[in-house]
Structure formats: structure tokens, C-alpha cells
Chain A
Amino acid sequence: MPIFQDNRELLQRLNWLRIFFVLVFICLFAQLWSLTVLDFDYYQNLAERNRVRILPQIAPRGLIHDREGRVLVDNVYGFNLLLFRDELSDLDATLQFLMDGLDITEEVLRERLKAAGSYSIYQPVVIKENLSMEETAYLLARQSEHPEVEILKQPRRIYRYGSLAAHVAGYVGEISPAQLQEPVFRESKAGDIVGQFGVERTYNQTLTGRDGRRRVQVDSRGRILHDLEQIDPIRGEDLTLTLDLDLQATAENLLGEDAGAVIAFDARSGEILVMASRPAFDPNQFAIRISKKEWDQLLENPDHPLQNRTVQNTFSPGSTFKMILALAGLERGIIDTETTVTCNGSVDLYGHRFHCWKEGGHGEVTLREAIQHSCNTYFYLLGQKLGLQEIAHFARQLGLGVPVGIDLLGEASGLVPSEEWKRQVRGEPWYPGETISLAIGQGPILVTPIQLARAMGIIATGRSPRLHLLKGDFQQGSTAGRELLSPAFAPENLQTIRDAMWSVVNEGGTGQGARLANYQVAGKTGTAQTISLSTREELSESELESLEDNAWFVGFAPRDNPEIIVAVIVQRGGSGGSSAAPIAREIFRLYHAKYKSRGPAGLEVASQAKQEKKL
């Protein structure tokens, strides 16, 4: 050890060290102050978010029953994969993780995320619905590495009978950005599943429940430590439809592979019993978020399975229009039951030869015979006498040209022509010859099956009850068409037409296919061209003739005090008598078998309600 040490310099340097230490500590104090005091609010907010996760508790939608309480639309619970984007650190790693273990492509994943772009970052995105056992196992095993995903049990729609009554039930789907702006969806938020079609859409507000939520405390790995708050979801209200699934199934089965539509309603209450449209779709396809590709495939299907042909598509009424001509003629006094016309198979009017469908002609026919055998000549001449204005007037009186106001969206108006319409739309005058075509339901006249059924109803009963799908109250439906129809037609005129229509079915007329031994069916057949009016304009005569006709049958039963109205259209079905009438017959038969002993339940309820009001 050295004897002498001069350590004064060392002591001086120790002092530097002391100063350095103190300075560094001052920095630490300052940063501590900055974090805990200056930025306290910021960090507290972050800390709050750190430990609370809100798990959406989706409310099941209300169930949809048929008139007999059978469940048509139900809910099932499945396991869905949710992604919490606010906890996402490496998107690509997460996507890879999901693609490795789930049956899902990157394209679909990106699509989902893109669709979720509009909603709050704290709202989880449903990545995949209805996980399989394998997928669930894969996710659960790796959940601690991926706190950003979570499996939640969530309800989804199940349509018990697949495509049965699909157009009435409709389907659900994720709300679109445009829909978010609509007032009817004001209680929905981005990402919600809402009714998109059918009664799911019309009565969406009723069916939609109130979502609950679960606020949970989670650790940094996303593991739930305990519940902070639990608001249970409330299921939406159930709906009972006026449909009879037995009748509905019969109608759909009989249409089979043919494109076409069947509508049937209670003549007294306006309750829709059957609303069948073919081809159909399976709404279960929509119950999980379908990809854009699947959606496009459905949209581009040339048979348009998504369209509800009973209300959304318009057709030429063909010979069924003759009942309207007949009513107009009787009401205006142009014809009576004794008036006769001689049919030679054709008639020359305005320099053009108009043919009856029967080449040799029907000979001398009364109105009853003209309807019974659907004689064109009789109605050519009647139409000529009535003129466009009167024909159009009575068509409108019977509810053509305006929506019937059924509680579904997207109902078509159809078309009742006028001179003005011709001038405005076509830029040319109405030619007198067109009136002659119009008289047998060809030319620019278009109806939806439901419109034609209602017109039938008015002729059958003289009344026009509001047509509806929801049992009981139907406050949410459209009001269009309500002002229609307190039609005042002479009862004896209506009776004349009804008798004639009875003979169509029961006395060897064109509608024999609808005849039943124990139930007095009356009706009218029709055949009409398949194509739309505008297309028809573009096609030449020869092309038109090559197209097969649509087959119509509209009718009611029984002959006296009618109970049920049925309209059937089979597209490209040839003549109405051969393809449409037998379908109507089965509807009548089944209706009679089911309801002859007991009146339709709806009627009883309605009369009971009235009595209660009086008391």
C-alpha cells in the first residue's frame, strides 16, 4: 500500500459524480410528474380501456309463426368468431393465424374487415359465423397468443322449412351504409343484422330485440377475469302471419320446377293464406353473412329467384281481363245477360283482322257463354264500344295500376294505359286497334298476381278488404291503395259475372281443371305473353309468337258467399286451363277440407274484437 496518497483531485471528481447523480434524478422526478400529474387523464383513460372489454350480446329476433302457430322462422345459437380491432397488433399475423385454422380465405377476411371499416374500432367484427368443432378447438388452444379474437355464442336466423314461403319470410343481412341513414333503421348500428326482405324487413322494428352487453374485465391476454356489468338481451316480438303453411306448401309443390306464383286470400278478412313464388331461394343462405360472390350469383340468376312474383313482377292479364270488361259493359248498360254476339273466329276492325282463339268461331254467344269459353270476339266488340277510357276506368276501380298495399316492400304498380300515358311514354297517339287488344288483356296492360286476385275478390264479394300478411293488427304496412276501394257495383251485375265464372269451371268451360265435386269453384283462365311491355315493343311479330304464353287462373269458392280467392300464374305454362287451373283446384280442395268445419280463425277473432268494442 502506498505510504502517501494525494486524493484531493479524486474528491473533487466525486463531487462531479454527485452533481451528475442529482441531475439524473431530477430528470426522473420530472418524467414521473409528467406521467402521473400532467398526463394523468390520458393514462387513466388508457388504463380504463385496457381492462374493460364489451362483449355484445345480440338479441334474438322475434319468431315468425304461420296462422296456426307453426314456427316458420326461428333462431339457433352458434359460435361466432369476433375480432377486437382495437387490440390488433399485427393484422397480417392475425389473418395468417385465422387462415391456418379456419375454413376461410384471405379474400373473405379482407372483405369482412373492409365492411367493418365504417364502424367504431371498439366494436368487434364478426369474422366467421357458425364455427365448426375443429375451428373452435383450434382457436381455444391458441387464444392466449391472440387476445384480439374471441368466440361468442350468438343467435342467428334459421328458416325451418328452407325455401318454403321464403319470399314472405324474407331474409336478414348486415345493414348497409345506405340503410343506416334511413329512419326505420335509426335504432340499428353498423354491423347489425337487420331484415332485408319480406316480413323480416317490413316488420324489422317489431322483430328486432334489444341487444344486451357484457362488460368484462380482461387481462392482457384477453382472458375474462370477472363480469362488471351484464345487460341481458331482450328478444324481439314474435309475429304471427296469416299464411297457412299447409296451403303454402301445396302451392309451392304444385308449381314445382315451373316459374310462377300462387296467391290466395280470405275473401272476407283479406288475410293472405298463400303467397308462393317460384323459383325460390333458401333464406338460410343469408342467415350468415354471405360473401359478395354468393350474393352476386343469386342476383345474376336469370330466373330471378329473389323476386317475389306475386307482388314484384307484372304480367299481362290475358283473358282474365275479360271479367273486368264484362263488369264494365254491364255497369255501363252496353250489354246485358241477353246480349249476343256471333263469333266467326275473327273480326275485322280498324282495318285489321282480330282472331278468336277458336278457329271456327263460337257461333252466337251470350255474355255467360263468352266468359265460359273465353270468346275473344265478344270482348273485341265490347271493348270497341266501351273505349279505352271506360276500360281503364273499370280496371282502376278494381284496383289495377296501383299497389295493393300489402305489408311487403317493393310492390309493383302494374300498368293501366291511357291516351296520355301513350303520348308521354311512347310519344304517339293511342290507336283504336290497341283498344281491341286491350279488351282481351293483351297490349299495354300489366298486373301483379296480387292485383288480379284482389280484382277477383271485388267481383266475388263486392268488397275489398285490406290484404295483409300479419295476423291482427297491421299498422306498419304501407298505406298506398287504401283509399281504393269502396267499389259500388250493382250486385246483380257481379252475380252475372260470378255465375258465368262458375260455368267456366263447372259447365265445360275453359277452367274445368279447377272443378271440385263438393266445393263450388268459379274462375277464369287466361293466357298471356311472357315478356315485359318494353321488350314486346322491341320484338317483331314472329318473335312474339315463338314465345310460350303464361297460364293464368283466377277464381273463388264457394260460388255463394265466397270464402277464398285464388290466383295462379304458371310462366310459360301454355294455356291457363291446363296448367294453372289444377293448381288452384288443389288449393280450393285443401282449404275446403281444412276449414269447412270451422271458419277461418281470423274472422272469429275479428268479430270478437268488434263485440268487445261495443261493450
Chain B
Amino acid sequence: MSDLDTPLRPPGARRGRRTSTSPRLFGLLMFSPFFAVFAFAIVAPVLYAVYLSLFQDRLIGGSVFVGLRNYGQALEDPQLRAGLERVGVFLLIQVPIMLGLALLAALAVDSGRLRWPAVFRIGLFIPYAVPAVVAALMWGYMYGPQFGLIHQAGAKLGAQTPDLLSSSWALASIGNITTWEFVGYNMLILYAALQTVPHELYEAAAMDGAGEIRKALSIKIPGLRRALLLTTIFSIIGSFQLFNEPNVLQTLAPGVISTSYTPNMYAYNLAFNGQQFTYAASIAMILGGVTAVVAYTVQLRANRGERTR
């Protein structure tokens, strides 16, 4: 603790009579309230779940210590693997589309070439405010194979629309809901980051006679690197934890979207319907591990790219 109390003064600082709180201690003090709440809300349940995952709680025979057996079982579980593969595909297709649209929207709103930019900024963000149960009602109405809006609109135009709830379309339909919900959210993060791009660069570009598109490509997007990385990482985490949207569509397409459609749904159904929450906890840990590895790899690659640039 001694180095904590040593005041850390920049060179040439005048010495005050009173020893003020050192910056390091101050940093720790500022961080600790967050961490205390975080420890209570997330770390403690995670640790408890890890502990529970070492047991098996059976309807006959009660609770037994099984060591890492739940993990062994999970690693060989074909349903978990299928779910992981599915969210992997989802991640590779949906995340680029969503972030591309969000980037386009952020640049458009920021460009000053749009009439009523505030309308778009608010309008695109509203879906993020819609609770899952409401989204279920709305998309049920949109996707319905008999009376759904998309089907009816297609019929009016004389086009045969596919059954959006069939096995070949379900993942795309889920991707659509996710995109709908989170485009505005990501746009907002990117837009906020755009505001910190130094304006001198714009002025220089304007003097060079650069158009809005060139400005976007050569100044804004490079300036958004960190924010894009942030949104990518969070979208990766979100994809691996995919739950609400497929769970909502499951009520509409129960024969297509199974209870193990995504790893998170699988863990949830095991815990809630099967009372196997020790096994569910081990699946949650594995899912967390996979997510962390992927997210970390992406971040590492991005940083390496930055260094070599």
C-alpha cells in the first residue's frame, strides 16, 4: 500500500503544504464504486454459477459433486455445437450488414447534407426502445404467412413471398429483427464518435476541394476506427448471446426454431424447463469463454493493424 500513498507529482510541480490525494489513489477511489456494484451484480453470480457448475442436481439422488463432468458433457453436446455454429454464421452475415447500415446512417446524419437530421437520428433510434414482448407482437404481424403485412403486400404486387418463418428463412428473419433494433443504437455510438473527429481536418479537406464522400472515406471512417471496433466487439458479444429475437420468433415458428437454436436459448431452457441449472451454468461459462476468445482475437488483430499502419 505504501506506493499508493506516495504522491505522484509531475516534474516541476510546486509542493503544496498539504499532501493532496495522489492521482493513483484518486483513480482507485473513483473506480471502486463501479467495481463494488459490478462485483455484486455480475462477479458474484458468475462465481456462484461456476461453483454450481461443478455439481449435478438431479431429480432422483439430489446434488452430487461431479467436478468438471458438466463441462466434458457440454463440449461433446451436439446441440450446443449446432447452436454455436448457427450464431457463428449469424455473426458473419448480420453484423457487417447492421454495422454498414449504421455507419451509413451516422455519416449521413453527420454530413449536413440531410434535411432534418434530428428526425432521422431519433427515428432510427426508437426501435431500440421497444421491449421484446412488443417486438414479438409487431414482427408476428409482419411475418405471418397468411395475414402478415409482407405476405399481403407481396400478394398485392403479384409476387410470391417466401414463408419467412420456414427453416430456410428463419435465421434471416431473426437477423432482420436484430438489425431493426440495433441500427439506430450503433448509429448513435458512431455519430457520437464522429463528433470528436478534429474539425481542422475538415477545413483542410475543404480547402483541398474534397467532396463529402472523399471526406467520409479519408477522414471520418479512419477517425471512427476505435468506435467501429467498439461496436464490432459488442455486436460479437451480442451475437453469441443471441436470445430475445429467436425466443420471440419461437412462438411463431416452434417447429423451426428449437429450444437449442442458440447456445443462450439452450442454457435458458435447460435451466427453466429442465431444472438443470448446473449444466446450464457450465454452458454459460463455455459460451462466455468462446465469446471472450473471439472478441479478444478481433481486438488484437485490429490493434496489430493499427501498429503496422
Chain B binds chain A? no
